[in-house]
Amino acid sequence: MGNYFRIKISYYSIMCITDNYILRITSIGTNVTTLTEIDPDAPNDPEKYYGVKFRTPDFLRKKGKCKIAVVNGNINVSEGNADSIVSPSRNIFMLTSNIPQLGYYTETRGLNNVLGTSVASYASTIGADMLRNINIDDANPLEFTCPELPPEIFVERMCYDGRVFKKSLSTNNLEFHITLDIQFFEDMPDKDPS
């Protein structure tokens, strides 16, 4: 009986192996469209950057329901000696997306979902050691169920400005990236094969 139990567990472990698809989304590249808008605090300025959108590859979208894990991510918060998006009232940043997640976010009223959060320290003057970029918190990476990838994926850089949750706008297209590990339910075994 003991040997049979061990063999059964080993067989089930082998059957549970599934394919992992990596989706790396960046704010630069030839197949993304940058998202811009007029800054309400500076209505006479040119439009400012806050995110990207791209068409989801059909072979991924057609696979349906999936488990997604955020592997890592990064947000550039300044470029050279100017255009820092960090200030005393703005130091919590996040990347949000229209990728559906089972659940609900109070910050976004159930709209775009948070993929990851970063905290930047504020420096009153920009010096050589000024923080240039911040990592998405990967100590406890987000994992979630997605009913189906959307035809087009939007990723936006957001922040808390004081107590207001809003788009984090910048004059230059400050780079960000996020890497997602996707496992599709159609590739997973439904149950113990016995």
pLDDT band at 147 (very low <50, low <70, confident <90, very high): very high
* 3 part of a folded domain: no
What confidence tens digit (pLDDT) does each residue in 89-133 have?
Answer: 677 888 999 999 888 777 666 666 889 888 876 655 444 445 677
Structure tokens given for 57: 């590859």
* 148 part of a folded domain: yes
* 9 part of a folded domain: no
Domain with 59, as residue range(s), is 19-187
- Shortest CA distance to 126 belongs to which of 176, 89, 84? 84
| Angle at CA of residue 87, ends 141 and 33, nearest 5° | 60
Structure tokens given for 81: 């000696």
* 89 part of a folded domain: yes
Q: How many CB atoms lie within 10 A of CB 106?
A: 7
Mean of pLDDT over the chain = 79
pLDDT the model gives residue 31: 86
pLDDT the model gives residue 154: 93
* 6 part of a folded domain: no
What confidence tens digit (pLDDT) does each residue in 16-41 have?
Answer: 567 899 999 999 888 899 999 988 88
Structure tokens given for 29: 């590249």
Please tell me the total count of domains within the chain.
Answer: 1
User: Amino acid identity, residue 191?
Assistant: K
* 58 part of a folded domain: yes
